[in-house]
A = this chain, B = another copy of it.
Amino acid sequence: MTENVTALLSTPSPVSILPKYLRAARGESLETPPVWLMRQAGRYLPEYRAVREQHGFLDVCYTPELACEVTLQPIRRFGFDAAILFSDILLLAIPLGAGLRFDSGHGPVIEKPVRTQQDVANLHDFEPREKLAEVLSAVKLIRAELPADKALIGFAGAPFTVATYLVEGRKPDPFKNTKSLMYADPASFAALMERLTSLTISYLRAQVEAGADALQLFDTWGGILTDEEYRRCNLPYLQRIFSELKDLGVPLTYFVLNGMHLYSASQVGATVYGLDWRMTFEQARARFGEHAALQGNFDPVLLLTDEQTIRRRARKILEDAGTHGHIFNLGHGILPDTPIEHVEALLDEIRGGRA
């Protein structure tokens, strides 16, 4: 595998001036797809765990040097085609005044959940360029450190997904408070969504100004909605985000988990769509059109099985995805107990199989 990476890095052909990730995101046909993995900077890496032994999760997010270090770790080790900013979709809860902490084992906790009209009105207005300045400094630093042939992906949570956390306070399942607010007080829910949408637009715009080459919007919980609810309470905000960011000229990826039933997700206006493992490439091409690039579909749990299974599944994805507009990725974040050798086997199959 190392030989392949070296070969790719050391013999840039004239067409490869643009990072492979960006070429695939534009729909170009490549011999092998670019590859990165959701949560690639994370607990499965010993070098990440070493940093986290010294620093809390939020410390890493808010210290540009540390965020840069962990963002680059998987690029150094695996030569992924894209780095993704090490950050969290809930950071904006802090300047919003809702508070955020991470309880070990329980994930994020919003200290003052947002459940009433008054709670929504009490949220602070802020300018991401000021209140999330450390994150933007991290973007700048990472872009400066990252090799030119690697793309840097900035990101944010989709407003609906961020709203579910803000409203529920903890891991949102089964989304009781969110749906109650949505139905019992649609105006307040819409007001919250409006606030988050405007913030998300400024924040993502600032990330590109700081050096991000591409943007991804994570809609982890969009799939709890029916298609009708999604069209009414989620889609308009997503459309606004993608349409207002269009002038940036960078690839815009939309990833919704468990969204097979969300037919209207094809109308968000993204340039790249992320698939979880439930939606096949054939279904995604039919739904999102031939011009959209596609990324994802490899079930992260399979990275825990064995090399043969991993290689077989990777080959199937390479066949199914076709060569144009394909970015290799998982269908959800890489699991903390994924063995390093399994990631190596996956990359070897992706790069070696058709290299």
Interface residues, chain A, CB within 8 Å of chain B? 174-176, 179-180, 183-184, 223, 226-227, 258, 260-261, 277-280, 283, 299-302, 304-306, 309, 335, 337
Contact = CB atoms under 8 A, between A and B. Distances in A.
Given A183-B306, A260-B260, 7 more contacts: A174-B300, A179-B301, A179-B304, A226-B299, A227-B280, A261-B278, A261-B279
Given A278-B261, A279-B261, A305-B183, A176 B226 contact: no
22 contacts: A174-B300, A174-B335, A176-B304, A176-B335, A179-B299, A179-B301, A179-B304, A180-B301, A180-B304, A183-B309, A184-B306, A184-B309, A223-B278, A226-B277, A226-B278, A226-B299, A227-B278, A227-B280, A260-B260, A260-B261, A261-B278, A261-B283
Most chain B CB inside 10 Å of its own CB: which residue of A179, A261, A302: A261
A111 to B, nearest CB: 22
A37 B173 CA distance: 20
B305 A180 contact: yes
Given A174-B335, A226-B278, A302 B260 contact: no
A302 B183 contact: yes
Count copies of this chain in the complex: 2
Contacts of A283: 261
Contacts of A184: 305-306, 309
**Which 5 residue pairs across A and B have the least CB separation, nearest first?**
A260-B261, A261-B278, A260-B260, A183-B305, A183-B309
Contacts of A176: 301, 304, 335, 337
Nearest to A263: B283
Contacts of A309: 183-184
Nearest to A301: B179
A305 B179 contact: yes
Contacts of A300: 174
A306 to B, nearest CB: 5
Contacts of A279: 261
A260 B278 CA distance: 9
Contacts of A258: 258
